[in-house]
Structure 1
């Protein structure tokens, strides 16, 4: 059986295919939204839009991690084929999410004056800021109960339906956003776009629930203190870690908005768009294996679990290396074409964005061990320490080195939690670190990539040629160091990714044979 056929007929292959669709779709959406925003909005309005997204991202964690924890709590019942236990945990999570959704609306309304003050919103944008902020919160909160559906699908190993939704919903948002902007509604258009995307997700997930192999139902037996205690005991750790990640991802927006004004925010956000997309691709590849890894761990199939985890880790890391090469080579061109040269943050900042793609991917693969094990360890105090450390170093980095220092801090910050995820996650899974022997190899690869990418912006060589015109915009060719470094990364990464993909497909075949036996 060929490589493509083996992947197509495996669960991991379906997840990978759906993840690739979501990546391509969301990438196109993310890129197209830039020229749309630049055409209809000025820099302050775009900065306000990014700031609202940052604040709403924080409030999304008001679900206290229940949405992300649903899959892990239901997984045991799915493996045991117990409809009663599935109903119990589904009931507990749904009631919790309904209550937390209502609480999020109240908290969001109370935080509205704080938001306007925190981001120094100009007077002529105050009304738009209020509508944008409150409208986005309402759209997000009303769909809180559906945040448990991806977890249910993960436990049922139907995860491939989740990225399909993630790939379609943004287009609903972009189409409505564009039409409303064209109609002269300004920033408020984003609220209409968000409402359209959330409406699509609501209908989509309701259909998937109705077609579940074992359709979950509400059961009073799930409304007990013991179940809520167990649920929140796990989900609070997930929430804190998730909030930490969200806060660190959006902290540059906070620092820039406060220190330099809303007009500087688009420089950072647009220049980081390509690296964010490629990091998402690598992390999606890792998450495509998560449903199977959880079920393999719950079923106690240690050897197959370790094998699949190692190979999926190498595959995701190889894709991240290739992504870093793309960022180095094409980030300036992408930003210039989509927005304009005045929105480009510079080559040094771009180099750190490339570093982030690799570092964040490797850290994420080790961090997932905590969620797989069902025990987050001392995640809360460790996350608090990590946040405090990054806030201090990011503030100092921006003060002394500007946007380059800010990008450097956020490129390296995932290392700390990645190490904790590896050490604690391996122990929670009752494995020795030697069971993850590839850890040292990946750490070495990551270090080499970091050194190579940092070296490229220390080079002072001139561009390879003169600027050339593209629809009236001046585009500079990459420097010699950028071409060499990205070329080396692409050759190495492509070779490793192909070998890893072949091994992953063989692992899928071995698993299916073992399952049928």
Structure 2
């Protein structure tokens, strides 16, 4: 009993439990949100809304990877007791990312306006307004996301879990009001993304209460601090961008190669498989900061042990979850969304994708904690080429099931490469990569 109590109160375990609990709430709320929106909007606008929601992950690398690189730096500084260094790193990153976000908002809106005027983009007025609202909110979300990464780096995942729950406490009532008023695409989009942005920005209230406000300094001093992380940050930016294209663009590809209606159906099925993957990611997320800290202390054996053990466990859990969705998924979609999406090959393909994605995910978390990103970028690029080739050649002929199987096949080289990299980098002669960022 005492041993079990010690395990339960271990920071890594308690943090994982908090994130899994929050993610469960998030999943249920997300399913509820989709159920509300799919009944509120017509099929075309629901497909457009689904595409906008997919853009959330596309913004991950737009901070030039500074957030992820600073996450490692903060964890390493805290591991050796340098709290001031951690505060200065966060403040500098916040100032630089704020300027980048403002510039990207302007560039994106101007580019979209030019494309619409030239006839390259064919959106209704309502869809154009929804896009503008999304871009503005996601620009501000970049800053809030940096605050959440700082909470992860300081090994306070419970605070991040509370923020995630707060997001949905705001989102669901707003969407219910939109549905009751039959308000349309713009209010549904604004309610969803404003709740996302405001909840993320609340991370700074937590940081201010416990650590004090980040030490921002001047733009020149902030850049001087941040540029130390540019190489690692560039790797993280490319990693996040390519990973997003590999994992999160299926709906966009389906919309391009088929129709918005088919894309909406594909999005409904894919969301079922994202449920177990999201829970697994929540469970292993604290491993990132802990890996950075342990490698900074020279304890690479710890990271290797947990990488190998958890990757196998995650793949096994994903296989069970995928099998359950293959059996019950069509009925679940009908009950949940009121649509019949029965395509056995699609469900089986996404089940295979889920197993490989779970394996890759655990190994990637450990490699990210060590700052080893460029190898992942190379193999993710290979995965992207495979996925796009399958989509281009087979989706029109065999339907979206080909996209699911192509997504699964694209992860096979990456799964092998990540496993090899973990074993090599954390072997007996492992080099403590995270410590290099301390200079």
TM-score by length of 2: 0.89
**For 2:228, what is the secondary structure of its paired residue?**
helix
* Correspondence 1:409-448 to 2 at 5 A: 409-429=406-426, 431=428
Q: d(CA) in 2 for partners of 1:249 and 1:85?
A: 35
Between 310-319 and 405-414, report the one with greater CA deviation.
Answer: 310-319
State the partner residue of 1:372: 369
Distance 1:385 1:289, change over 3 A: closer
State the partner residue of 1:304: 302
User: How far off is 1:431 after superposition?
Assistant: 4.9
State the partner residue of 1:458: none
Does the 8 A contact of 1:369 with 1:429 survive in 2? no
* Correspondence 1:185-200 to 2 at 5 A: 185-189=183-187, 190-200=189-199
Between 79-88 and 404-413, report the one with greater CA deviation.
Answer: 79-88
Q: d(CA) in 2 for partners of 1:261 and 1:176?
A: 29
State the partner residue of 2:348: 351
User: How far off is 1:105 after superposition?
Assistant: 0.5
State the partner residue of 2:317: 319
Distance 1:53 1:276, change over 3 A: same
State the partner residue of 1:5: 5
* Correspondence 1:20-35 to 2 at 5 A: 20-35=20-35
* Correspondence 1:34-433 to 2 at 5 A: 34-113=34-113, 126-189=124-187, 190-202=189-201, 204-213=202-211, 216-219=214-217, 223=221, 227-342=225-340, 344-429=341-426, 431=428
State the partner residue of 1:451: none
Distance 1:262 1:273, change over 3 A: same
**For 1:81, what is the secondary structure of its paired residue?**
coil
Distance 1:40 1:341, change over 3 A: closer
Q: d(CA) in 2 for partners of 1:45 and 1:272?
A: 18
Does the 8 A contact of 2:295 with 2:370 survive in 1? yes
User: How far off is 1:225 after superposition?
Assistant: 5.6
Structure with larger Rg: 1
Q: d(CA) in 2 for partners of 1:230 and 1:275?
A: 38
Does the 8 A contact of 2:134 with 2:193 survive in 1? yes
Give me the CA root mean square deviation: 2.7
Q: d(CA) in 2 for partners of 1:118 and 1:330?
A: 46
Task: Give CA deviations for 1:44-94 in whole Å, capped at 9, x if unaligned.
Answer: 111111122234532443112222222101122111212331233123211
Does the 8 A contact of 2:301 with 2:426 survive in 1? no
Does the 8 A contact of 2:288 with 2:366 survive in 1? no
Does the 8 A contact of 2:141 with 2:196 survive in 1? no
Q: d(CA) in 2 for partners of 1:197 and 1:374?
A: 28
Q: d(CA) in 2 for partners of 1:395 and 1:2?
A: 57
* Unpaired segments ≥5 residues, structure 2: 431-439
Distance 1:140 1:50, change over 3 A: same
Does the 8 A contact of 1:175 with 1:193 survive in 2? no
User: How far off is 1:2 after superposition?
Assistant: 5.4
Does the 8 A contact of 1:68 with 1:151 survive in 2? yes
User: How far off is 1:389 after superposition?
Assistant: 3.0
TM-score by length of 1: 0.76
State the partner residue of 2:17: 17
Does the 8 A contact of 2:48 with 2:127 survive in 1? yes
Q: d(CA) in 2 for partners of 1:137 and 1:256?
A: 22
State the partner residue of 2:437: none
Does the 8 A contact of 1:293 with 1:309 survive in 2? no
Number of equivalent positions: 429
Distance 1:144 1:205, change over 3 A: same
User: How far off is 1:373 after superposition?
Assistant: 1.4
Does the 8 A contact of 2:79 with 2:293 survive in 1? yes
Task: Give CA deviations for 1:160-218 in whole Å, capped at 9, x if unaligned.
Answer: 2213322331341222122123223201122133213322332x312211133576423
**For 2:174, what is the secondary structure of its paired residue?**
helix
Between 240-249 and 147-156, report the one with greater CA deviation.
Answer: 147-156
* More RCO (CA 8 Å, sep 6+): 2
